[in-house]
Amino acid sequence: MPSQQLEVTTGQRRITDVTGACAAFAAAQAADGLLHVFLPHATAGLALLETGAGSDDDLAAHLDALLPRDDRWRHRHGSPGHGADHVLPALISPSLSVPVDAGQLALGTWQSIVVVDANVDNPIRTLRLSFLRA
């Protein structure tokens, strides 16, 4: 099964669009199949989301409300509120799969593949892409 690992820098951004990298990997396969995207980190997740029209900002704001950056968390190392980062993958999965038709991602019109990451302590992420041919 073809696979590739990419480094993604999230920095201070909560939402980082990785659709282009995923599309390039799928295009290189030039086949029908399934793209599996996996983020092997305990404090980040992946989502399908419309970006640039406010949904990314809405998601970030609601994550801040749902997972506040304060001292309520039992997991207490790192920056203030870091325990919230460890709860995030239970709500936003660290993996997703997308159908691929003739090397093209079969995403909806407004769907983008994004890394969701509120952890400022670890701004470099590894993204693993795998392709299962039909």
For residue 104, what pLDDT is reported? 98
pLDDT at 83: 86
Q: In what order do the strands lie in the sheet with 104-105?
A: 3-9, 124-133, 33-38, 95-101, 104-105
Percent of the chain having pLDDT more than 70?
Answer: 100
Rg of the chain, C-alpha, whole Å: 15
Residue 19, token pair as written in the block: 């659709």
Tell me which residue of 28, 48, 51 sits closest to 37, measured CA to CA: 48
* Number of alpha carbons in the 13 Å side-chain half-sphere of residue 35: 28
Q: 40-93 pLDDT, tens per residue?
A: 999 999 999 999 899 999 999 999 999 888 888 887 777 877 888 899 999 999
Helices (H), the chain: 19-29, 55-66, 82-91
CATH class for domain 3-133?
mainly beta
The pLDDT of residue 69 is 85
Distance CA 63, CA 70 (A): 13
pLDDT in tens, 4-44: 999 999 978 899 999 999 999 999 999 999 999 999 999 99
Residue 75: its pLDDT value, please?
79
Q: Which amino acid is at 116?
A: V
